[in-house]
Amino acid sequence: MLLMVSVQNMKEAKQALKGNADIVDVKNLQEALVGSAHPWLVKEVRDYVPQETHASVTLGVVPNQVGTVAMAVYSAGLLNATSVKVGFMKTEYQMAVDILLASKEALNGTETKLIGSLFADNSLYDGLDPNKMVDLAKDGQCDGFLIDTLTKDGRNLFDFMSEEILTDIVYQGKSMGVSTALSGHLRLDNLDELARINPDIVGVRGAVCSKGERGNSVYWEAVAKFRKELDLRESGEIAVRDLHVTINGSNGDGWVVIDGTGKSCASIILELTQQVGKDSSSFVEVVMPDILNTYDVMVWAQKSGHKVISQRKETNGSVRILVQPG
């Protein structure tokens, strides 16, 4: 899981980087519920942040105006943002799709990724159902999606959507080949749930601010603490569920190895799906880079009717899983 830290100025961006954030996300918390930072700040952060570290832009809750949003997205592309997040609250589904499609077109010729976003607490505002996130990302031709929250009353993501529902949404996103991100007042004590869901990206602010208050400044030691706790779960040093090794007798005609080293979980799942689609008689051994991504393969196998024959953890922390297509 990548750690995304939301910042409001250059000082916070530097603190996020010092704490080893993977993504520095620029936003404006003073504008309405959440809004976009000034272009000069986005440019300053993008120029400062190393290319291997992502610098993303949050537009926040966008208006129901196709051209206006597309122009803002176009600006993010010109500024070479890694990604731009377009969020919807009180928007009709088809309008949201139209805005995303126009935004995707506006990014033609750039490397900026389009991220559609819905809010888990949209029901408080009579807004667009967050359970439509996967469909919206697909219909809007997004490169990824984010589920976040808007409320500032102390409740967080898990007060509005269950671990089970979020797990299913994230799994669908990965199966579709898009990046998946979860945010919304997440805390250290949510890490076990997040690790079981295993989105590609976990977004935080309050949890990495001084005294845990999102209105205070981002503090590098808090970022480093959150990063460390994520890593402990990713390596399996902190177990968030049982990993049983099972051996079942089976017959197969061949053996194919898929090496997931350096690949996203979404690309591994897609490669697995393509492999068993063209060859349903050969065993598939997949090398997973960490424990958490192993769970996604288990879910994929279960939902797709395949059988997990064995699992073996290597000394380098990777896990080898042997799958027999169903």
pLDDT at 199: 94
% of the chain surpassing 70 pLDDT: 94
Q: Does the domain spanning 2-235 belong to CATH 3.20.20.380?
A: yes
Catalytic site residues? 27, 85
Task: Summarize pLDDT for 257-305 with one digit per residue, the tens.
Answer: 899 888 888 888 888 999 999 988 889 999 888 777 888 888 898 888 9
pLDDT at 148: 96
The per-residue pLDDT of the chain, averaged, comes to: 90
Cβ atoms 165, 157 nearer than 8 A: no
Whether the predicted pLDDT of 246 surpasses 70: no
pLDDT at 260: 87
**DSSP-derived pairing of the beta strands 254-259 and 23-26:** unpaired
DSSP 22-80: SEEEE-BTTSSSSBPPPHHHHHHHHHHS-TTSEEEEEEEE--S-HHHHHHHHHHHHHTT
Distance in angstroms (rounded) separating the CA atoms of residues 264 and 290: 11
SS3 per residue for 265-318: HHHHHHHHHHHHHHCCCEEEEEEECCHHHHHHHHHHHHHHCCEEEEEEECCCCC
Collapsing DSSP to helix, strand or coil, 115 comes out as strand
Fold of 254-324: Rossmann fold (3.40.50)
Comparison of pLDDT for 318 and 128, the residue scoring more: 128
Q: What is the mean pLDDT of residues 118-131?
A: 96
Distance in angstroms (rounded) separating the CA atoms of residues 124 and 108: 35
Segments making up each domain of the chain, as ranges = 2-235, 254-324
